[in-house]
């Protein structure tokens, strides 16, 4: 997730773009850059690190031009560096990009054959070259972009400048937001509304597959076939803070709703569907190396540890590799049996959690291979790893982990399929089925999010409960733990997660009419057993809330409330089940007047032991 800004008008572009980028820094902040066009010359300034570095550079070396584009980056392809920072330039063309070009390797190979020289490791630079090649041959700027869009696959908001054409910017969109703002004799483009609010409240949103030409006099929008489209201007009424949260009341809610996009970005460009394979660019394990793996040690903290518990099922059942799960704070002080045939797999949103990071010393000493799943590019954990799988969730601002968790589950699923294919446990046909399921996942999540109204009502009903029990079985037991953690950390209400079958060994004593018991009951091999467990709770007066995916029997389940989710495939059910639990925790905390995004005593990244 990156932030894009464009300007054409009567003012100096660079300072205005810089200010607007500040409003988008929540979308990414590992490097930034601006390009401005003046007197037939393009100037590009780029700096690694937060925007203040670019700002210092601009003070030292100001730039002139009343048309320009800017970018704040959250790296996906290529580590954060000045070279990988946007804008990227090729010939007369300069581009900024937010998204992922799925077929970039194939396109890059073709460009290399034609003698193209690349100056970055990004997928975005290829787009600049593709357009520049056409423009150099005399193709009109707009037509060159239109033709290039037919060659690329993936998600993008792309914004182009042409050195020889100071009258217009071209912008294109697919699966990534971009908005055009109209001012008085000036026009603006941005990834999100907060970047425009200081200048205009009149906006037009581009839809997927559309392209727009933006000039001093306004904009023209075209569909994928080049047919002009009328798009009425909208008047934005949000204040600046609400706008940064995308109109949501809190970042947590925004991040919950961002999950369909985040999950799609995690698998985008990594699925080779035809052969049932998964391409993990930064995990280079040969077939031989994978066949030698005897055990995976998953290490993490908090929510990421819950993801690892699901990961154990995935690695053992999909890839046939035994797996163990440890808390970072425990692993570092025990003597795990590891050797060069072991893998340490650390899972961390921030990549900076000290207890998780400590596992690397043990693994190195035992000569085990070190892998990680992480959201932040080039954080300490990926830097200490031999291979990494980035989740592409984009920055997560709320302390409570939501989209980071579900993208970790998605990454673990991808890794399990990749390893299963390499060690021969998983046949191409089965792998294709698993990958097809994965491609449905964003849709199932969209469906699950539609339960929001029902969950809010439920939150109101349960608001005054002082304790909660969450029950799940098998691959969904970790989701019960996650549901309980989410509630605890943002509402300060005591909650426990338990394997449903264990209840009779102790926790059943807690049950009375004041205790809500949230039961995860997907239609799986445990379904009947779970229903028996919930009857035990019901008959003792407990307030049972059932979350199921079995629409047929939902009405017959004896419970205080039943929430029905779409039926997802078995290994993806934990991700879908997570959604109502996130929303339940969120609404109970909001209704209880809690500081949802910054709960007391907690930090987003725990860098001390
Ligand atoms: O950045 P990490 O994923 O390594 O963080 C691990 C935990 O601190 C984190 O998941 C924490 O439990 C969250 N606040 C949970 O919402």
Interval 59-92: pLDDT, tens: 999 999 999 999 998 877 778 889 999 999 999 9
- Dist CA 565 CA 558 (whole Å): 17
- Dist CA 605 CA 405 (whole Å): 14
599 lines ligand 1 (CB under 6 A): no
Is the pLDDT reported for residue 242 higher than 80?
Answer: no
Say if residues 119 and 60 touch (Cβ distance below 8 Å): no
Is the pLDDT reported for residue 241 higher than 90?
Answer: no
- Location of each CATH 3.40.50.10490 domain in the chain: 253-444, 450-591
Is the pLDDT reported for residue 383 higher than 80?
Answer: yes
Instruction: Decide yes or no: CATH 3.40.50.10490 for domain 253-444.
Output: yes
pLDDT band of 539, cuts 50, 70, 90: confident
Mean pLDDT of 319-341: 95
CA-nearest residue for atom 10, ligand 1, is 303
375 lines ligand 1 (CB under 6 A): no
Is the pLDDT reported for residue 348 higher than 70?
Answer: yes
Beta strands 387-390 and 369-374: pairing type?
parallel
User: Residue 518 Cα, ligand 1 centroid: separation in angstroms?
Assistant: 23
pLDDT band of 25, cuts 50, 70, 90: confident
Mean pLDDT of 12-17: 97
Is the pLDDT reported for residue 605 higher than 70?
Answer: yes
Question: Which atom from ligand 1 is nearest to the alpha carbon of 381?
Answer: 4
Which amino acids are annotated catalytic? 2, 604
Out of 304, 358, 600, 605, give the residue to mutate to test ligand 1, the one with the largest number of ligand atoms within 8 Å of its CB: 304
Mean pLDDT of the chain: 93
Is the pLDDT reported for residue 355 higher than 90?
Answer: yes
pLDDT in the model for residue 601: 83
User: Quick one: what percent of the chain has pLDDT higher than 70?
Assistant: 99
What's 433's DSSP letter?
H
605 lines ligand 1 (CB under 6 A): yes
In the chain, % helix, strand, coil (3-state, to 5) comes to 40, 25, 35
pLDDT band of 609, cuts 50, 70, 90: low
DSSP assignments along 304-348, one per residue: HHHHHHHHHHHHHHHS---EEEEEHHHHTTS-----TTEEEEEEE
pLDDT band of 321, cuts 50, 70, 90: very high
**Cα–chain-centroid distance for residue 599?**
22
Question: Out of 35-39, 242-246, 421-425, which region has the weakest mean confidence (pLDDT)?
Answer: 242-246
Beta strands 342-348 and 295-300: pairing type?
parallel
pLDDT in the model for residue 504: 86
Instruction: Decide yes or no: CATH 3.30.70.1140 for domain 450-591.
Output: no
User: Quick one: what percent of the chain has pLDDT higher than 90?
Assistant: 76
User: Residue 324 Cα, ligand 1 centroid: separation in angstroms?
Assistant: 19
Is the pLDDT reported for residue 42 higher than 70?
Answer: yes
- Dist CA 486 CA 491 (whole Å): 8
Summarize pLDDT for 465-491 with one digit per residue, the tens. 999 999 999 999 999 999 999 999 999
User: Residue 353 Cα, ligand 1 centroid: separation in angstroms?
Assistant: 8
CATH architecture observed for domain 3-244: 4-Layer Sandwich (3.60)
- Kindly provide the b/e burial profile for residues 333-355, where b requires at least 16 CB atoms within 10 angstroms of the residue's own CB: eeebebeeebbbbbbbbbbbbbb
Is the pLDDT reported for residue 240 higher than 70?
Answer: no
């Amino acid at each position: 997730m990156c932030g894009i800004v464009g300007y054409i008008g009567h003012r100096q572009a660079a300072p205005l773009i810089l200010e607007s980028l500040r409003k988008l820094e929540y979308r990414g902040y590992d490097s930034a850059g601006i390009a401005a066009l003046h007197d037939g010359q393009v100037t590009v300034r780029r700096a690694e690190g937060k925007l203040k570095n670019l700002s210092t550079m601009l003070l030292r070396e100001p730039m002139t031009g009343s048309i320009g584009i800017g970018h704040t980056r959250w790296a996906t392809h290529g580590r954060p560096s000045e070279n990988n920072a946007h804008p990227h330039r090729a010939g007369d063309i300069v581009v900024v990009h937010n998204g992922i070009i799925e077929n970039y390797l194939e396109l890059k190979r073709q460009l290399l054959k034609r003698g193209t020289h690349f100056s970055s490791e990004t997928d975005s630079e290829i787009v600049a070259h593709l357009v520049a090649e056409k423009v150099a041959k005399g193709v009109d700027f707009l037509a060159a972009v239109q033709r290039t869009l037919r060659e690329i696959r993936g998600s993008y908001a792309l914004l182009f400048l042409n050195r020889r054409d100071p009258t217009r910017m071209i912008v294109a969109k697919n699966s990534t937001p971009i908005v055009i703002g109209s001012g008085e004799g000036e026009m603006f483009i941005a990834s999100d509304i907060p970047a425009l609010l200081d200048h205009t409240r009149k906006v037009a949103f581009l839809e997927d597959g559309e392209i727009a030409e933006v000039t001093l006099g306004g904009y023209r929008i075209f569909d994928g076939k080049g047919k002009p489209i009328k798009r009425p201007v909208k008047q934005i009424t949000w204040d600046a803070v609400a706008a940064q949260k995308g109109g949501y009341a809190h970042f947590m809610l925004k991040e919950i709703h961002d999950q369909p996009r985040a999950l799609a970005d995690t698998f985008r460009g990594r699925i080779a569907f035809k052969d049932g394979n998964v391409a993990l660019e930064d995990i280079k394990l040969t077939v031989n190396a994978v066949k030698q793996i005897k055990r995976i040690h998953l290490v993490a903290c908090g929510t990421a540890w819950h993801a690892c518990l699901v990961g154990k099922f995935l690695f053992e059942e999909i890839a046939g590799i035994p797996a163990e799960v440890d808390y970072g704070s425990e692993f570092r002080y025990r003597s795990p049996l590891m050797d060069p045939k072991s893998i340490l797999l650390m899972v961390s949103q921030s990549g900076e959690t000290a207890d998780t990071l400590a596992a690397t010393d043990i693994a190195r000493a035992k000569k085990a291979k070190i892998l990680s799943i992480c959201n932040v590019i080039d954080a300490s954990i990926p830097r200490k790893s031999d291979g990494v799988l980035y989740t592409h969730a984009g920055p997560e601002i709320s302390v409570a982990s939501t989209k980071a968790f579900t993208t970790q589950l998605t990454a673990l699923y991808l890794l399990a399929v990749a390893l299963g294919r390499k060690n021969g446990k998983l046949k191409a046909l089965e792998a294709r089925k698993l990958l097809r399921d994965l491609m449905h996942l964003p849709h199932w999540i969209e469906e699950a999010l539609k339960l929001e109204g029902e969950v809010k009502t439920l939150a109101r009903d349960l608001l005054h409960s002082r304790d909660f029990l969450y029950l799940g079985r098998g691959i969904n037991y970790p989701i019960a733990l996650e549901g309980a953690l989410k509630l605890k950390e943002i509402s300060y209400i005591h909650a426990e997660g338990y394997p449903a079958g264990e209840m009779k060994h102790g926790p059943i004593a807690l049950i009375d009419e004041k205790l809500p018991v949230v039961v995860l009951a997907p239609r799986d091999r445990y379904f009947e057993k779970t229903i028996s467990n919930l009857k035990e709770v019901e008959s003792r007066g407990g307030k049972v809330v059932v979350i199921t995916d079995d629409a047929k029997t939902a009405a017959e389940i004896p419970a205080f409330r039943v929430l029905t989710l779409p039926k997802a495939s078995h290994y993806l059910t934990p991700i879908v089940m997570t959604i109502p639990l996130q929303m339940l925790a969120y609404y109970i905390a909001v209704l209880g007047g809690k500081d949802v995004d910054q709960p007391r005593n907690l930090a987003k990244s725990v860098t001390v032991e």
